[in-house]
């Protein structure tokens, strides 16, 4: 639907691999560090908010057209 959906999906796909190794007891297959966790957290947050704002703007646009 939009580029923000791709960002959101990339953040969700790599969740376990981007988690820091320090939390290996909580997250299976944690292989990252705090920088990768922060980066993919940012992708997930931007993708979620971007998709939400994109959908809302389309809904408002179609509402105003009617």
pLDDT at 1 (0 to 100): 67
Residue 19's alpha-carbon distances to 2, 12, 16, 27, 60, in angstroms, are 26, 11, 5, 7, 37
Say whether pTM exceeds 0.85: no
pLDDT digits over 30-60, tens only? 777 888 888 888 888 888 898 899 999 999 9
* DSSP letters for the chain: --HHHHHHHHHHHTHHHHSBGGGTTTSTT--B-HHHHHHHHHHHHHHHHHHHHHHHHHHHHHHHH-
pLDDT at 19 (0 to 100): 78
Share of the chain above pLDDT 70, in %: 95
Average model confidence (pLDDT) across the chain: 83
Which sign, positive or negative, has the C-alpha torsion 25, 29, 33, 36? negative
pLDDT at 62 (0 to 100): 95
């Amino acid at each position: 639907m939009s580029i923000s959906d791709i960002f959101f999906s990339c953040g969700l796909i790599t969740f376990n691999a981007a988690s820091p190794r320090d939390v290996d007891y909580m997250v299976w297959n944690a292989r990252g560090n705090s920088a990768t966790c922060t980066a993919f957290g940012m992708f997930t947050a931007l993708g979620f908010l971007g998709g939400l704002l994109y959908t809302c703007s389309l809904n408002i646009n179609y509402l105003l057209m009617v």
